[in-house]
């Protein structure tokens, strides 16, 4: 389950920000997860609670914002939304797609005390 490792990385980011900005409690963590990131939001929620226990984020609310997958179609020269890799262009049916967005997972916001 790579989601546990992802959540550990998120906690490292949160703790580093706490040191840099001198806050002592995290109330909310907002994560942006791309549709093509291979991270399962439900697994992330489960793992986050375990990783955050006994840290400055203990009891924090985890908000997940899912962003769509986006690709550039080389055949019809359009930016198109895709739900998963290796699916055809919804406009022309071509498989010549280059992913341009939706692979990311990032800490978008923190609500802190």
In order of 2, 4, 75, 83, the CA distances from 8 in angstroms are: 10, 6, 40, 27
- Model-level pTM? 0.84
Rounded average pLDDT over 49-75: 96
Mean pLDDT within 67-91? 96
Joined together, the tokens standing for residue 94 give 């071509």
CA distance 62 to 28: 6
- State residue 67's pLDDT score: 96
Which residue shows structure tokens 């990311």? 104
Alpha-carbon distance values, 37 to 18, 85, 87 (Å): 26, 10, 15
Give pLDDT tens digits for 36-45.
999 999 999 9
Q: Which two tokens stand for residue 86?
A: 């290796």
Q: Does residue 40 contact residue 1 with C-beta atoms inside 8 Å?
A: no
pLDDT score at 25: 97
The answer, yes or no, to whether residue 1 has pLDDT greater than 70, is no
CB 64 within 8 A of CB 45: yes
Mean pLDDT of 58-79: 97
What average pLDDT does the segment 78-100 reach? 96
Q: What residue ranges define each of the domains in the chain, with the CATH number in brackets?
A: 2-69+101-112 (3.30.2320.50)
- The stretch 3-27 carries a mean pLDDT of 96
């Amino acid at each position: 389950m790579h989601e546990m490792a992802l959540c550990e990385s998120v906690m490292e980011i949160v703790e580093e920000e706490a040191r840099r900005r001198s806050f002592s409690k995290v109330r909310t963590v907002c994560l942006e997860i791309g549709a093509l990131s291979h991270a399962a939001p439900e697994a992330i929620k489960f793992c986050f609670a375990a990783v955050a226990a006994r840290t400055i984020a203990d009891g924090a609310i985890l908000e997940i914002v899912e962003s769509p997958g986006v690709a550039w179609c080389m055949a019809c020269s359009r930016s198109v939304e895709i739900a998963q890799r290796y699916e055809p262009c919804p406009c022309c049916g071509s498989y010549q797609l280059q992913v341009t967005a939706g692979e990311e997972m990032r800490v978008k916001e923190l609500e802190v005390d």
